[in-house]
DNA sequence: GTAAGTGCAAAGGCTTTGCGCACGC
DNA sequence: GCGTGCGCAAAGCCTTTGCACTTAC
């Protein structure tokens, strides 16, 4: 494993850009850095508002296009939702999610035994499985206290 | 367990409506029946096009509002996606999903050992877990043949 | 220098909201 | 008859597209 290449960092980002023949523009770098800072799976508009503080002239389209490009190339991941705006995650390694059904928060967690769950044989035969993920849903501590 | 109440059927639907003080209008019944017929987790527009064949004067808003109401009350489930239009599922019992990343098909499957996966203790303590679901992603047989 | 990327503007979808009329209970 | 639900229309977002200008390589 090449750590440089796989753990999210500014350096790994530059490497990935070269691999995909993407230009490492200041805008892209700023967007990537913002994602590095976030652990709440922000959507484009949140990233826009934050990056604009550093980059006042950046346009929303650049944010959106960049995030979609990153997602397509596997530089970032897209997280599943229920029809809300697309949300992005800097973590592309195997992990799992807890989702709060009230505040819509998504919390990442790692759990080796979930990584190793066996795919049912009939599905294994029929499909090419590329990713496995466990999604837990419920109510987070903050929302639990409110009610 | 009250089978009448829990397995999806027209009868169980009427019971559920009464429980939630919803009127069982012909429109709602038609929408519910259409979902009963579908196993591909359709979004509102698909349901609209199909129901309109039986109910030419039904409006899209009715479909959309009805589906959202059903989802909110737990009469149907909403399936997770990546920012596309909301998709709905008549199955509200525990099951899991395979998603094809190419054609976006979602296939339901049941797998007891997935139902019984243990929630990590630290999460168990912090959150109230209401649902567990395994999501497998990859390429389905149809898309696999094409490439 | 060249191709790729950015910013701006406009259009296209999907979803939501408000309101008068209709209809199930 | 009462209150919920429906249909229609309009508005509000989010996302996508096209194009000229700019910039990284």
Output phi, psi for B55, to 5 deg.
-125, 75
Q: Which residues pair with B128 in a beta bridge?
A: A139
What residue of A is the nearest CA neighbor of B84?
A83
pLDDT band at A4 (very low <50, low <70, confident <90, very high): very low
Paired with B134 in beta bridges are A134
User: Largest Cα–Cα distance in chain A?
Assistant: 53
- What's the confidence (pLDDT) of residue A116? 94
- A24 band by pLDDT with thresholds 50, 70 and 90: very high
Confidence at residue B9, expressed as pLDDT on a 0 to 100 scale:
85
Average pLDDT, integer, range B52-74: 95
Strand C nucleotides with an atom less than 7 Å from a protein beta carbon: 4-10, 14-18, 23-25
Using one digit for the tens of pLDDT, what is the confidence trace for B117-140?
999 999 999 999 999 999 999 999
pLDDT value at A98 more than 90: yes
- Which range has the top average pLDDT, A1-15, A18-32, A132-146? A18-32
More confident of the two residues B81 and B4: B81
| Chain B residues closer than 8 Å to A137 by CB | 129-133
* CATH number at B96-146: 3.30.1490
In this complex, the nucleotide whose C1' atom is nearest to the CA atom of residue B27 is D6
Give the Cα separation of A100 and A98 in Å (integer). 7
Mean pLDDT of chain A: 92
Q: Which residues of B touch A (CB under 8 A)?
A: 78-87, 98, 100-101, 109, 111, 113-114, 117-120, 123, 126-141, 144
pLDDT at position B66, please? 97
Whether B146 has a pLDDT exceeding 80, the answer reads no
Tens-digit pLDDT profile for residues B24-47: 999 999 999 999 999 899 999 999
Residue B1 has pLDDT above 50, yes or no: no
Q: Into which CATH architecture does domain B10-89 fall?
A: Orthogonal Bundle (1.10)
Domain-by-domain residue ranges, chain A? 10-89, 96-146
Residue A8's pLDDT band, with cuts at 50, 70 and 90, is: confident
Share of chain B above pLDDT 70, in %: 95
> What value does the mean pLDDT of chain B take?
91
pLDDT at position A6 over 80: no
**Burial category of B56 from C-beta neighbours within 10 Å (exposed 0-12, middle 13-18, buried 19 and up):** exposed
Between CA A5 and CA A13 the distance in angstroms is 8
pLDDT over 50 (residue B4) = no
Question: Looking at beta carbons, which residues of chain A come within 8 Å of B84?
Answer: 83
Residue A93 contacts by C-beta under 8 Å, 6 or more apart in sequence?
A6
Range scoring the smallest mean pLDDT among A5-9, A97-101, A120-124: A5-9
Residue B83: pLDDT band with limits 50, 70, 90 = confident
Measure CB to CB from residue B80 to each of A81, A129, A131 and give the nearest one.
A81
Residue of higher predicted confidence among B69 and B7? B69
B101–chain A nearest CA distance, Å: 9
**Helix A26-37 with A60-73: angle, nearest 10 deg:** 70
Residue B2 clears pLDDT 60, i.e. is over it: no
Tens digits of residue pLDDT in A39-57? 999 999 999 999 999 999 9
């Amino acid at each position: 494993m090449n750590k440089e290449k796989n753990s999210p960092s500014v350096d790994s980002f530059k490497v990935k850009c070269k691999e995909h023949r993407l230009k490492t523009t200041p805008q892209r770098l700023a967007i990537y850095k913002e994602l590095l800072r976030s652990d709440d799976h922000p959507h484009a508009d949140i990233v826009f508002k934050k990056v604009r503080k550093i980059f006042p002239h950046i346009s929303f389209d650049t944010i959106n296009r960049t995030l979609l490009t990153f997602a397509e190339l596997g530089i970032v991941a897209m997280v599943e939702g229920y029809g809300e705006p697309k949300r992005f995650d800097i973590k592309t390694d195997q992990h799992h999610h807890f989702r709060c059904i009230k505040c819509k928060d998504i919390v990442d967690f790692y759990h080796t035994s979930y990584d190793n769950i066996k795919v049912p044989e009939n599905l294994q035969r029929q499909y090419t499985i590329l990713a496995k993920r466990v999604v837990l849903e419920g109510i987070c501590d903050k929302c639990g206290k409110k009610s």
